[in-house]
């Protein structure tokens, strides 16, 4: 927030005031939200840019906020920033459940000082980050809980994770992170069943109300291909430029730590630990995965999601906001390398300040 208000307090809500953003489309939703949802794919071409590029749930969230008496882009920005900042706590909870207290405490400063904070205030993708992070954290808590205490967090986590494909089509690869939590945490069958039930609620509700997700994907892809925007940009350029932007979001500490973390995961004992304990389900349930293996698995799952989107060619630009839900999970890789921690934290903060001062972004 401090970085955003360098341009005045109005800068917090200014990104949402653009005519291409979600709030500008509320005028079409207000008369009859159910009719708007039923005809969403049929009338997609007449909506604002961000509404056309996403499923209907972000708009319904803003409409619900307005119906609660908190209308306007100021309240929308407050929701996004509050949710987005809370994601640091959710990721720390997940790391603690899988890798232990020490690894979680080591990750927290890197989560707080990640340069991606620039886009927490204010891009809607920060809200997406929070939904994914808390859904994953609840799933991790369910994996640690007892037979009965695990059911509620598992169902709640599944409910939040079921929202992801209806917040953004590009969040589907992010489900690799909660999948890694399931593999490593090995929740009990009852907890998995509760999570599965929660996961089905949002898709079932949208389908019953008239929005069929595959039709939404197809309609969005059609409008994307005929647009004069990002679909016409160079695939080869953005294949590499997108990853460069990911480096800006995560910072030099992650660039330093991530290669070694992933190399060890793929090459040596960390991979065997994950495979033996997680996939094959061997060993006692009480035996914990090595902290470095758990952290590497979370970061690796997020990186896999980024690479899937990048290679697909759908993301050509605007990834400074699109990568936010993925990049936050990559920052935990810096917690494994405990050499020169203060210097790397200073580098993270300096990078965030440089990005704010030098990089022009509408968000």
Q: What is the mean pLDDT of residues 179-207?
A: 94
Residue 238, token pair as written in the block: 């953005």
Cβ-contact 199, 175 below 8 angstroms: no
Distance CA 153, CA 145 (A): 9
**pLDDT at residue 335 is higher than 90:** no
**pLDDT at residue 246 is higher than 50:** yes
CA 256 to chain centre: 22
Per-residue pLDDT tens for 265-281? 765 455 555 555 555 55
pLDDT higher at 163 or 10 = 163
Cβ-contact 237, 314 below 8 angstroms: no
Q: What's the pLDDT at 116? A: 94
pLDDT higher at 144 or 83 = 83
Which of the four pLDDT bands, split at 50, 70 and 90, describes residue 100?
A: very high
Q: Which residues fall within 8 angstroms of residue 118, CB to CB, at 6 or more apart?
A: 3, 4, 352, 355, 356, 361
On the CB side of 169, CA atoms within 13 Å amount to 22
**pLDDT at residue 298 is higher than 90:** yes
Highest mean pLDDT among 3-7, 17-21, 327-331: 327-331
pLDDT higher at 199 or 281 = 199
Which of the four pLDDT bands, split at 50, 70 and 90, describes residue 123?
A: very high
Distance CA 306, CA 171 (A): 10
Q: What is the mean pLDDT of residues 19-44?
A: 93
233: left (phi over 0), alpha (psi -120 to 50) or beta: beta
* C-beta pairs of 335-342 under 8 Å, 24+ apart in sequence: 335/95, 335/103, 335/104, 335/106, 335/107, 335/110, 335/295, 336/103, 336/106, 336/257, 336/261, 336/291, 336/292, 336/295, 336/296, 337/256, 337/257, 337/260, 337/261, 338/106, 341/106, 341/109
**pLDDT at residue 85 is higher than 60:** yes
Give the percent of the chain with pLDDT over 90: 70
Which of the four pLDDT bands, split at 50, 70 and 90, describes residue 244?
A: very high
Q: What's the pLDDT at 267? A: 58
- The number of residues making up the chain comes to 363
Cβ-contact 165, 155 below 8 angstroms: no
Distance CA 65, CA 71 (A): 6
Rg (CA), the chain: 20
Distance CA 293, CA 180 (A): 11
Q: What is the mean pLDDT of residues 141-162?
A: 90
* 3-class DSSP assignment, residue 149: coil
Q: What's the pLDDT at 276? A: 56
Which of the four pLDDT bands, split at 50, 70 and 90, describes residue 286?
A: very low
Which of the four pLDDT bands, split at 50, 70 and 90, describes residue 262?
A: confident
Cβ-contact 278, 296 below 8 angstroms: no
Residue 140, token pair as written in the block: 């991790």
Global confidence as pTM: 0.92
For residue 87, is the peptide bond before it cis, meaning its omega torsion is within 30 degrees of 0? no
pLDDT higher at 333 or 231 = 333
List the end-to-end C-alpha distance of the chain, in Å, as a whole number: 12
């Amino acid at each position: 927030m401090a970085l955003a208000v360098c341009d005045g307090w109005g800068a917090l809500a200014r990104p949402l005031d653009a005519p291409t953003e979600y709030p500008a489309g509320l005028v079409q939703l207000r008369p009859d939200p159910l009719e708007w949802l039923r005809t969403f794919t049929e009338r997609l071409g007449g909506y604002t840019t961000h509404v056309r590029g996403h499923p209907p749930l972000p708009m319904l969230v803003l409409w619900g906020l307005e119906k609660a008496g908190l209308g306007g882009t100021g309240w929308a920005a407050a929701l996004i920033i509050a949710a987005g900042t809370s994601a640091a706590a959710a990721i720390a909870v997940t790391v603690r459940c899988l890798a232990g207290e020490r690894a979680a405490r080591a990750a927290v400063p890197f989560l707080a000082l990640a340069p991606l904070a620039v886009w927490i205030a204010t891009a809607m993708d920060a809200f997406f980050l929070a939904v994914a992070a808390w859904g994953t954290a609840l799933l991790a808590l369910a994996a640690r809980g007892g037979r009965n205490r695990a059911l509620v967090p598992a169902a709640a986590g599944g409910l939040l994770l079921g929202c992801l494909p209806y917040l953004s089509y590009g969040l589907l690869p992010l489900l690799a992170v909660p999948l890694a939590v399931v593999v490593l945490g090995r929740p009990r069958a009852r907890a998995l069943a509760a999570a599965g039930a929660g996961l089905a609620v949002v898709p079932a509700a949208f389908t019953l109300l008239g929005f069929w997700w595959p039709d939404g994907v197809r309609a969005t892809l059609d409008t994307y291909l005929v647009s004069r925007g990002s679909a016409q940009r160079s695939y080869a350029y953005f294949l590499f430029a997108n990853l460069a932007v990911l480096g800006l979001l995560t910072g030099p500490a992650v660039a330093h730590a991530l290669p070694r973390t992933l190399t060890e995961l793929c090459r040596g004992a960390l991979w065997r630990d994950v495979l033996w304990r997680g996939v094959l389900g061997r060993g006692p349930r009480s035996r914990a995965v090595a902290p470095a293996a758990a952290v590497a698995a979370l970061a690796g799952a997020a990186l896999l999601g980024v690479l899937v989107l990048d290679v697909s060619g759908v993301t050509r630009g605007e990834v400074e906001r699109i990568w936010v839900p993925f990049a936050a999970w990559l920052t935990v890789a810096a917690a494994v390398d405990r050499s020169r921690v203060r210097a790397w934290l200073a580098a993270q903060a300096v990078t965030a300040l440089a990005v704010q001062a030098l990089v022009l972004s509408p968000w």
